[in-house]
Amino acid sequence: MVNTKNKSVIFMKRPDDYPIVGEHFVLQHTDLVAELEEGDILTRNLYLSLDPYLRGRMDGIEGAYVPCFHIGNPINGYGMGEVIQSKNSKYPVGSLVFGVITWELFSLIPPSFNNLIILPNAIRESKVPLSWYLGALGMTGLTAYGSLKLFANLKPGETIFVSAAMGAVGHLVGQMAKRQGLRVVGSAGTDEKVKVLLEELNFDAAFNYKTGNILQSLQKACPEGIDIYYDNVGGEQLEAALEVLKQHGRVVVSGMIDDYNRVTPYHIKNLVLIFQKRIKIEGFVCLDFEKEIWPEFTADVTKWLLEGDIVCKEEVTEGLENAPSVFVNNLKGKNLGKGVIKIADL
């Protein structure tokens, strides 16, 4: 029997533009009173991962995407929790789990939704912060690692351009490409982010896409062109990248955050270059390869992190109640690295 005070972030209304706290999602104080049925588990939630792709799930276009949110239900997304009650032998009480959980203090998770990964007990004593299991060691890191491995076909000496390069995925992509011997160029939306890219993350070049002409900045940073564009943004940066890509260049589309909140997306005017330069563009969603890549991803990235080969930049905000506003700020590019909500200590 469960009978506890809960807090839930409820999805209220589909946004056309940026979601607004209090209008499109609200925090509700609720009572969780329930009897666990066969297969159910109850988690005490510790961390939430604030991922821009969740914005797409607010649109309500079923089929095009991972399941969209339903009005009146809690938001859900990747997060970490501890199993505190269980009627599922796969998830004993005390298990530390990672996967899709609701944005609540406590999640009652039915068996139909239990694709949670049990994290090894050893990470309770991990040398890296627990929150990194939502960033470099979570789906964010998997997105960067898996997409580079499966789609980008990186070769030492090539040049890669990463947009939203100080974002959760972007800053890992850049560092991973750098350690494979590529020249790495990034764009970001503040001078502070550009500084971090150059001084902390070892990017070869970086520019603020808000304070100059994007195409000119990219051309200046890459006088010999680029081989790969790692797209987190779409829009004008994709247009500039097509212009600067070499023949047979590749574009890996990890996201198009610029389009998520626009009623009318930016008008890209040079798509004919796809044909003229024989460009390959490939979109992906990490769900497609998570199982296939997970073991080698965990082994490699843990090693790189512990050896200081790459770092995980993050902004951890305490309190479930802050999840909506921090999420919106992330969509607006205000975060430096991975955005994480800490709900409770382990």
Name the segment binding a second copy (CB under 8 A); options: 40-48, 110-118, 132-140, 260-268: 260-268
Minimum distance from CB of 57 to a second copy (Å)? Answer: 10
Question: Whose Cβ is closer to a second copy: residue 55's or residue 313's?
Answer: 55
* Total length of the chain: 346
Smallest CA-to-CA distance from 52 within 264, 239, 265, 233 is with 233
Name the segment binding a second copy (CB under 8 A); options: 25-33, 99-107, 282-290, 320-328: 282-290
Question: Whose Cβ is closer to a second copy: residue 99's or residue 249's?
Answer: 249
Neighbours of 137 (CB within 10 A): 25
Question: Whose Cβ is closer to a second copy: residue 259's or residue 309's?
Answer: 259
Residues sharing a CB contact under 8 Å with residue 35, sequence separation 6 or more, in sequence order: 1, 2
Taking the C-alpha atoms of residue 206 and residue 217, their distance in angstroms, rounded to an integer, is 9
For residues 95 and 64, is the Cβ–Cβ distance under 8 A?
A: no
Minimum distance from CB of 292 to a second copy (Å)? Answer: 14
Sole binder of a second copy in the list 50, 142, 197, 279 (CB under 8 A): 279
For residues 253 and 222, is the Cβ–Cβ distance under 8 A?
A: no
110: contact with a second copy by CB under 8 A:
no
Ordered alpha helix ranges (H), 148-289: 170-179, 191-199, 214-221, 235-244, 257-260, 272-276
8: tokens are 């839930």
For residues 100 and 303, is the Cβ–Cβ distance under 8 A?
A: no
Query: What is the phi/psi pair of residue 131, to 5°?
Result: -65, -25
Taking the C-alpha atoms of residue 233 and residue 64, their distance in angstroms, rounded to an integer, is 19
Minimum distance from CB of 226 to a second copy (Å)? Answer: 14
Minimum distance from CB of 272 to a second copy (Å)? Answer: 4
Total site size for a second copy, rule CB under 8 A: 34
3-class DSSP state of 140: helix
Minimum distance from CB of 239 to a second copy (Å)? Answer: 10
Minimum distance from CB of 282 to a second copy (Å)? Answer: 5
For residues 346 and 46, is the Cβ–Cβ distance under 8 A?
A: yes
Positions 240 through 259 that interact with a second copy (CB under 8 A): 247, 253-256, 259
In the DSSP assignment, the letter for residue 75 is P
265: contact with a second copy by CB under 8 A:
yes
Sole binder of a second copy in the list 275, 307, 308, 345 (CB under 8 A): 275
Sole binder of a second copy in the list 71, 271, 306, 346 (CB under 8 A): 271
Sole binder of a second copy in the list 113, 284, 300, 309 (CB under 8 A): 284
Positions 223 through 242 that interact with a second copy (CB under 8 A): 234, 238
**Kindly report the CA angle at 139 between 252 and 88, in degrees rounded to 5?**
145
Sole binder of a second copy in the list 267, 307, 308, 345 (CB under 8 A): 267
Minimum distance from CB of 230 to a second copy (Å)? Answer: 12
287: tokens are 């769900």
Minimum distance from CB of 71 to a second copy (Å)? Answer: 21
Minimum distance from CB of 277 to a second copy (Å)? Answer: 6
Contact characters 44-83, a second copy, x per CB under 8 A: ------------x-------xx------------------
Taking the C-alpha atoms of residue 16 and residue 260, their distance in angstroms, rounded to an integer, is 9
Bridge partners, residue 140, by sequence = none
Which residues of the chain form contacts with a second copy (CB under 8 A)?
56, 64-65, 234, 238, 247, 253-256, 259-260, 264-265, 267-285, 288
